[in-house]
Chain A
Amino acid sequence: MWSVIAQFALVAPHLARIPVWVIGVYLFAALWRSMVYRGRWSFPGRMLKLALIVTSFISLYLSYGTFLGLEPTVALLLIGFALKLIELAQRKDAYVLLFLGYFVCVTEFLFSQDLLIVFYSMFTVLLLTTALLALHQPQQHKFNPRTIRLAGIMLLQAFPLMVVLFFLFPRIGPLWTVPLKSQAAKTGVSDFMRPGDISRLSQSSEVAFRVQFEGAIPNASQLYWRGLVFSKLEDGAWRSLDYYEVPATERRQKQPELVGDEIRYDIIMEPTQQGWLYGLRHAESNRSKVMSTADFRLYSPVVLEDEYHYTVESWPDAVLESELSQWRRKTELAVPRGSNPETLALAKELRLQHKNDRDLVNAILKKFNEEEYVYTLEPPLLGEQAMDEFLFQTRRGFCEHYAYAFTLLARAAGIPARVVAGYQGGEVNPVNKTIIVHQFDAHAWTEVWLEGEGWVRVDPTAAVSPDRIEWGLERAVATEGSFLSDSPLSLLNFRSVVWVNNLRLRYDALTWQWQSWIVGYDAETQYTVLQNWFGEISARKFVIVLLGSWAIVLIPVGIWLLTKRPVKAISKLDKYYLTYCDKLGKRGLSRAMGETPGNYAVRAKRKFPGSASEIDRINGLYAQLSYQDKTPESGTQLLTEFKRGVQRLKI
């Protein structure tokens, strides 16, 4: 009974991910099981089982098109888990089912490490443990609701050990890898940008990352989270440079001079299935796994499949690339030939009017600001000559349109420029002073290189819609009613309801704690923590600490368990007798548990005929003291005699 409950609880979180027919298999198996239980149906035959297995495999292949990857394997596990139910004939099978259950419970974490999932999993572990316990109780076929209490107590006893193991047990790298999440969509900003890409992203209310500043939170208009730099315009789309497109000499970052005040902050990224990380300009991270690129981005060589925690230091005033290399200048000035002729013409015209680069930039921004350009989440589709259409006809666009147009104009006018993509702004959570950056905060802006100033951030969107930068997207498109129109159920839509919003922010604050302490606790942090506590780490020290902490945790639990149980006192007589048994035991003749003293003595005499009389005497005294009706005074006397006899016994 418990096991069936536990099983359904385990499968519940997987529901959204597995094909519908797998759920059918579950219901079918549960039905069959209950029929077997009632004695109406019998267990499936060998051929039927084989057929079920083959069908499952085929269906799985048809559903996913492959057996590799995380989802199909998990689905396979779940099917096996379901089918095992109709094979549940003996206690052994129940063990298999329940231990498989623990495993299924772990697979849930491959998909999400959310706090709610953790609580839910604890609950399923409780159910599983209860089922395991129920298996060992008398009248196991009856449903006993008190079993869950016992299971809860047992898990609580195990909890301290879990904490210690979590913090101290070495993080061992995987011995093999499976292609994880083949089907999972990559979320967030992608590595190329076409007009319309970011406005699509802005419909999502998912969290991209959370930030916690060490000092005061900078003004929202300063929060430009750089993620990607697009230097290449190809076929109407902006792309970042591939590794091989950059000559070897240009691959290393030119370390800028770190001047001005620094900002320190922690970022925890949600999984993106991509490698780039976000940071304010100019960012450097102390984490060994975070790399910096030549275009001043942060990058993780490992794809982010889980929440990722890193610490960043930023110098907003640092000058980036005060001198531009020949190659870099050429790259950042490249304009595809033959497209957008009107735009290129406009650039030439502007160049004639403004000799100074700075003036030219301002002129473009002024054009966006003063002419009738509209900032909208629902820009019209653009044709072949996208920028000509946008600049001179539609004049409606989202941030990527403006960034595209600006960069193209600047490049055509001979100013090195590039598009930067990332996020802008974020929601301040008053509960714990973190900043929550959502997908709808995705943004694209530009950087131009000016003589003596290096790369300077220019945001053409700010010229069109200053609200977007100061107050965020929602306010900027408020009149349109298009904000989050695709996700009506998102909690963010209910921000006007005070308590819902408070709850959401509190939960988010909790998520930050959870992610920074538990999810982000990997081998590296572990090493640092241990080093802080115990100094230089050696294998020997590590083992001592590990075992010592186990002992510290287990000894109180052990003491508690032992003191709870009434300790049965052993009488002096029996103690001496057991000494005698030990003596014989050392000579290879130990007493069996159910062996009476008399029988033992007979065996002993046969084995050690030399000591027969002593054994006889000891055994006789023991029988007399232990079993006969005796007077107290002769008792003590006999006891001393018995003790002496045992002590003198030599074989």
Chain B
Amino acid sequence: MSDMRELQGALEAAVSEVGKVVLGKEPQIRLALCCLFARGHLLIEDLPGMGKTTLSQALAKVLGLDYKRVQFTSDLMPADILGVSIFDRRESVFNFHPGPIFTQLLLADEINRTTPRTQSALLEAMAEGQVTIEGETRALPNPFFVIATQNPIDQSGTYPLPESQLDRFLMRLELGYPHPRAEREMFERQHHLDTERVNLKQRIDASQLEQIRQAVTQVHASASVLDYLQRLVAYTRQAPEFAVGLSPRGALAILQCAKTWALMNNRGHLVPEDIQMVLPAVTAHRLIPGGDYAGDSLALVVQMQSNVDVVRP
């Protein structure tokens, strides 16, 4: 239990550390950490200039992960990410030069600016945990995270990710405009913030990360909570507002994130609040609004939350 307390302390420290540069976004920071602890990849979606990159950089630093950043452009090729073999004249062999993907945390900035071909190379690596280049399979480091950022798809010059690939991301977060108070603080401490961004400290190390991951598996999910989860999943499959319901993978994703969330709140068991907290971030990008309900699937998830009873079957 002392371990748990220690972990909790590290966790809070990490949250406040990231909070130094991303002001007034504590829930999003916690969700982002939750996603990473649950071994998932994270997609941050918002308009340009909302702090997507700042958040991902800060997360990488705080977790002390070795990270690389790739700015996706429309002419980026798969080899630019995965790596390429170059012929060495002197030794008469092909030498593999690993691409930026061989890192613990990859920041894929503006993933929807690149072509589907490059996108799928990345997403495949995300799913498999390994890459195959020129017939040779190379394992990616462990842990391996991708934090991708993207602009909302209705911006011009983008290649929106297809739904099947969105599914590879455990969570999708939206940052939104900062609170006026936080924004004011940002104005006032502009220069200060820049230096802080550089000086962020690591708060969680690799062994702690592994500990957290182990502890998540110990979190107890009671029948009652699982019933609630099943009711939610069933709702997405039956209700007319969704064209396609949640897949079993999507349902497992909710459970995994909720357990992590419970652990982050220092609880050894799941409560419905855990599920409700992670639900929008985990499910909104997996659900497609159906028929006449075109529009924001996030709003539909919130609506679903209020339509499914927590207690009564």
Which residues of A line the B interface, CB within 8 A?
Answer: 90-91, 136, 138, 140, 568, 570-571, 574, 577-578, 581, 591-599, 623, 626-629
Contacts and interface: CB of A to CB of B under 8 A. Distances in A.
Given A138-B290, A570-B312, A593 B306 contact: yes
Interface in B277-313: 290-292, 305-313
Contacts of A626: 222, 224-225
Given A140-B291, A596-B276, A627 B306 contact: no
5 contacts: A138-B243, A571-B224, A574-B313, A626-B225, A628-B269
B196 interface: no
A92 to B, nearest CB: 9
B269 A594 contact: no
A570 B30 CA distance: 35
**Interface SS majority for chain A:** loop
A598 B265 CA distance: 14
Nearest to A596: B272
Given A568-B313, A629-B222, A599 B306 contact: no
A264 to B, nearest CB: 61
Contact of A629 (B268, B290, B305, B313): B268
B219 to A, nearest CB: 9
A593 B271 contact: no
A432 B311 CA distance: 65
Contacts, number: 66
Contacts of A571: 224
Given A140-B291, A626-B224, A597 B310 contact: yes
Given A136-B240, A593-B310, 18 more contacts: A138-B240, A574-B224, A574-B312, A578-B312, A592-B306, A594-B306, A594-B307, A594-B310, A595-B310, A596-B310, A597-B272, A598-B271, A598-B273, A623-B271, A627-B222, A627-B271, A628-B220, A628-B268
A596 B275 CA distance: 10
B63 interface: no
Interface of B: 220, 222, 224-225, 240, 243, 268-273, 276, 290-292, 305-313
A570 B269 CA distance: 22
Which of A570, A574, A577, A627 has the most chain B CB atoms inside 10 A of its CB? A627
Nearest to B291: A140
Contact of A593 (B270, B309, B313): B309
B56 to A, nearest CB: 31
In the A-B complex, the 5 residue pairs with the smallest Cβ-Cβ separation, listed nearest first, are A594-B306, A629-B220, A568-B313, A596-B272, A626-B224
B198 to A, nearest CB: 40
B279 to A, nearest CB: 10
Which of A136, A574, A581, A593 has the most chain B CB atoms inside 10 A of its CB? A593
Nearest to B222: A627
Contacts of B311: 574, 577-578, 581, 591, 597
B269 A629 contact: yes
Contacts of B305: 594
Contacts of A577: 311
Contacts of A593: 306-310
Given A138-B290, A628-B220, A628-B222, A599 B273 contact: yes
A623 B268 CA distance: 13
Given A568-B313, A578-B312, A596 B306 contact: no
Contacts of A578: 311-312
A91 B225 contact: no
A151 B222 CA distance: 41
Nearest to A630: B222
A136 to B, nearest CB: 7
Contacts of A599: 273
A595 B307 CA distance: 10
Nearest to B290: A138
A596 to B, nearest CB: 4
A596 B291 contact: no
Contacts of B309: 593-594
Contacts of B225: 626-627
Contacts of A629: 220, 222, 268-269
Contacts of B312: 570, 574, 578
A574 B273 CA distance: 17
Contact of A596 (B220, B269, B273): B273
A344 B243 CA distance: 92
A593 B269 CA distance: 22
Which of A91, A138, A578 has the most chain B CB atoms inside 10 A of its CB? A138
Contacts of B268: 628-629
Contacts of B292: 90-91
